[in-house]
Amino acid sequence: MKVKYFNAETREEAAVNAANYFGCEEDKVTLEFVSAEEDSDISLFVAMTGTPREIANMDAHYKLFYEEDGVYLELYGKRGAGRSFDNNALAQYISKKKLGSLFVPALQELTTRTAGRGRIAGVQDEYFYGEDMIVEISDDECQATAVLLAPEPGGQNMSIDEAKQKIYDAGVLHGIDIMALTMQLEAKDYGVSNVIAAATAPVNGDDGKLIFNFSIDERTKAPREIGSGKVDYRSLDLYVPVEQGALLVTRTLATDGKPGISVRGKSLIQSQGKDITLPKGKNVEVNHDKTEMHASCAGMVEFVNNSVNVSNVYNIKGDCDLSVGNIDFDGTVHITGSLRSGNTVKATGAVIVDGSVEAATIIAGGNVEVKGGMQGADKGLIEAGGAVTIMYVERGTVHADGPVTLDVSIHSIIESGDTLTAKGKRGAIIGGRAGSSSNIIANYIGALSNARTEVFVGVMPRKRARLQFLENEIARLEGERLKLNQLDAYLAKSKTTMDNEAWQKLKLSGIENRKLNTENLLDSHAEKDALLYELEHATEGRVHVLNTVFSGSRVLIGNDTYVVNNEIDFVSFRYNDSQVVYGPCEVSKGA
């Protein structure tokens, strides 16, 4: 559809002029009278080409004409359902055409009427505007978009430098994507918004974190695997063992992060990380910069109520049975109930049993205290690096490096590295074998039934076995030293004939092995000497019976044995002139 205003004296003249202008037949032109000039025969007509429907619903629009006497603006009003006139679009269009000597009143009068023709500027050459660009910045200044506007016919394309200047003028100073801008200019995708700049996002700081170097999961209480697809049903996952000095928790420090930069070049503030404190509890130590937490003692570690605690006492509430399984703990074990048959309790510290011990095993680096007794069934065993205190032992075995105190021993094996005392309501050693490296004190030894009971003082059998082992070890080490001497002699002779690198390796190996050999020999001799001294003084011990030693009992001191054939009351046995003799008890009953 085409439209234009024509000045003519008659309708026919206007129709001819319009047909010539549009290049069509006169019958194709729709002509309407607009107005007549005052004091003139000239009238203004509007000529249109197009279908009746197009003409009936024409959108309001405008057009500039550069003529001999100036620049004319023609406004065409809307018809029917056509779109209304847009004053802002007209103002932008006139601005882009860069009209000089603009007649503002004439322009205002014409736009007020929204239709018609008027001269709005003086004589001038037409300027053809080229591509343009609209730049918008988001409210948060995190991105900028650009819309490329089409040029009018004859207008020039926008250069990359011109586009960049447009962007700078809009206030975009950071994060410009030159590649995206270049592609937008080349694509000629007019009217489409494209992102041409993006902010550098701030890097938020990391929060401080805790790294637990032990499992904080709830204990499974499941049997522990022992390899080859097998499990030990008496070794259950009940606690997490730790050694003294073990690293428990590591703390990573919070970071500050890094600020960003908006497309306007402004700083974007980051969020700083939040710090976290170490969950310090009992028996833990924190390093100087508070980044590590270590165990201050050996034992078991727990994470309870946001606190890490290390305990050197493992408390077992109730009985230690199959539901608890075997215990191997670096510290002290306290069982509030009884130790049931088949279970083994190992502890580097003490073991305390509030109840009794059945056919079970206790191996302690420290003292053992059993408030009840042991029903050993010939399988119960207690080994202690310290003292043993127990009410009674029946058909069990007790080995202690320290003193042993009990009320009664029945058909058991008792060995004490110090005094063995059987004092209490009964204070009896009945049947079995009981020995001490020092003294034995008991109310009764043996029984009316003449139960075979053997007591001895002096070096314990296991110490004699250790002495034999040390003698064999010293012989082995001395044989090893002889070979090292032979190696030194060989190296001295072959230094000039052997490859130097091989010679140096053999020499270094000989030096290291000799050092280790010397250290082991010194240690073995020292331990052997201590045991020999103990053996030499083994006859100084005594067996004190405060009441009765019964027939069938045997007393061993040194290399002699005294067989008791008749009851003897209130007696002490000692070693004298290579034999065991006895006399009145040297210990009072009240002691």
pLDDT exceeds 80 at position 590:
no
Model pTM score? 0.56
**Mean pLDDT over the full length of the chain:** 91
CB 550, CB 445: distance < 8 Å: yes
Domain ranges of the chain: 2-121, 132-198, 209-311, 328-460+539-584, 463-537
Provide the pLDDT for residue 264. Answer: 96
pLDDT digit string, tens, across residues 39-51: 788 999 999 999 9
The C-alpha atoms of residue 364 and residue 413 are separated, in whole angstroms, by: 18
How many separate helices (H) and strands (E) can be counted in the chain? 8, 43
The C-alpha atoms of residue 418 and residue 246 are separated, in whole angstroms, by: 35
Instruction: For residue 211, give the amino acid letter.
Output: I
Q: What are phi and psi of 343, to 5 degrees?
A: -90, 150
pLDDT digit string, tens, across residues 125-150: 999 999 999 999 999 999 999 999 99
pLDDT exceeds 80 at position 29:
yes
**Which value, in Å, is the radius of gyration of the alpha carbons in the chain?**
56
Burial of 472 (0-12, 13-18, 19+ CB in 10 A): exposed
pLDDT exceeds 70 at position 479:
yes
pLDDT digit string, tens, across residues 78-126: 999 999 988 898 998 999 999 998 999 999 999 888 889 999 999 999 9
Q: HSE on the CB side for 303, CA within 13 Å? A: 16
- Give the pLDDT band (50/70/90) at residue 535: confident
Provide the pLDDT for residue 573. Answer: 96
The C-alpha atoms of residue 585 and residue 581 are separated, in whole angstroms, by: 12
pLDDT exceeds 90 at position 164:
yes
pLDDT exceeds 60 at position 230:
no
Mean pLDDT of 506-535: 90
pLDDT digit string, tens, across residues 165-179: 999 999 999 999 999
pLDDT exceeds 90 at position 563:
yes
Mean pLDDT of 317-341: 92
The enclosing H or E element of 585 equals none
